[in-house]
Structure 1
Amino acid sequence: MKHILSVLVENKPGVLSRVTGLISRRGFNIESLTVAPTEDVTMSRMTVIVNADETGFEQITKQLHKLVSVYKISDLTDEDAIERELVLFKVCAPAEKRHEVIEVANLFRAKIVDVGRATLTIEATGDENKLGALEDLFRAYGIKQLTRTGKIAMSRGA
């Protein structure tokens, strides 16, 4: 099962390495990882997506709690959390198809960020389903390049 962890850590060198090392040493693969400073510059938030059974997930969280640089761990797996990801698509868009590609992008509220002679680069944000659907539609035109950020997540409400 995929688990979404939001981990509040010290914003110091080596913390990312210690957290990821702890997870990988226990034989679990990190499917997605994002790290960035928070509103407090001394702290960073890591969003980690890991595939593990309940026992393995419990082992990971117990070990993370033992790290001095970890302040708080939130399991967002079963919460009504807001999840987002960013994707950049470089799509084949010859003159005769360019309008169609732009229309598809507009339907998904994506933004054209670069125009080339035969390609359009499109930025899209959303959840996994939205971005997957957009990718499927762009495949019909030909995707020259695609890059995704890791997933970020935050619990709803106060």
Structure 2
Amino acid sequence: MTTGKHAISVLVNNQPGVLQRVSGLFGRRGYNIDSITVGASEEAGLSRMVIVTTGDEDTLEQVEKQLYKLVDVIKVVDLSANPMVDREVALIKVAAEPSLRPEVLGVVDTFRASVVDIGPGSLIVQAVGGTDKIDAIIELLKPYGIRELTRTGVTAMTRGSVK
């Protein structure tokens, strides 16, 4: 069995405590959540969670079975089993005195990121893309001094008409 990252879409009733029950299930079973995003879905009253976790096919199968046992879970889909589009957003506050800004802006432009705020000694950079892209821009901005960093976690959906 090969172990890898899996993106799982979980359609749930939008009710208080659902996120806690889903994340608790992972914790009780000893499965790690690498990232989790939750938001409204295309159906009123339902939310979609996208959970990224690491494991083999047997682990993923167990996770799916356990999720279906939760009352508010409607549908579970392994997004990574099909071609998918995944994105993440990062906001990165970089120490940038005016003399260094052209260098920082060069990194920003290379990654098709954008500057969303400028302060006297810092810039806030917004980067959107796959996890590898976000990791790469962070690495290139580290030498300038990252003062603060926040990431949304991965959100994803399958390509084309596959549901």
Q: Shared topology, TM-score over 0.5?
A: yes
Q: Equivalent residue of 2:49, what SS?
A: strand
Shift of 1:80: 1.1
Within the candidate set 63, 82, 87, 2:90 is matched to 87
For residues 1-158 of structure 1, the aligned pairs below 5 Å read 1-158=4-161
Offset at residue 122 of structure 1 (A): 0.6
Q: Distance in 2 between matches of 1:78 and 1:140?
A: 37
User: How far apart, CA to CA, are the structure 2 residues paired with 1:16 and 1:144?
Assistant: 30
Aligned letter for 1:34? T
Rounded Cα–Cα distance in structure 2 between residues aligned with 1:19 and 1:95: 46
- Structure 1 segments (4+ residues) deviating >3 Å: none
Amino acid in structure 1 at the alignment position of 2:16: P
Q: Distance in 1 between matches of 2:58 and 2:159?
A: 27
Structure 1: give runs of 5+ residues left out of the alignment: none
Distance 1:17 1:132 in 2: 28
Task: Give distance in 2, aligned partners of 1:3 and 1:65.
Answer: 17
What is the distance in 2 between the residues matched to 1:93 and 1:46?
36
Mark the runs of 5 or more structure 2 residues left unpaired by the alignment. Answer: none
* Residue correspondences, number: 158
Residue identity opposite 1:136 in structure 2: E
What TM-score does the superposition give when structure 2 sets the normalisation length? Answer: 0.91
Percent identity between the two aligned chains? 47
**TM-score scaled by length of structure 1:** 0.94
Amino acid of the residue matched to residue 92 of structure 1? A
RMSD value over aligned CA atoms? 1.2
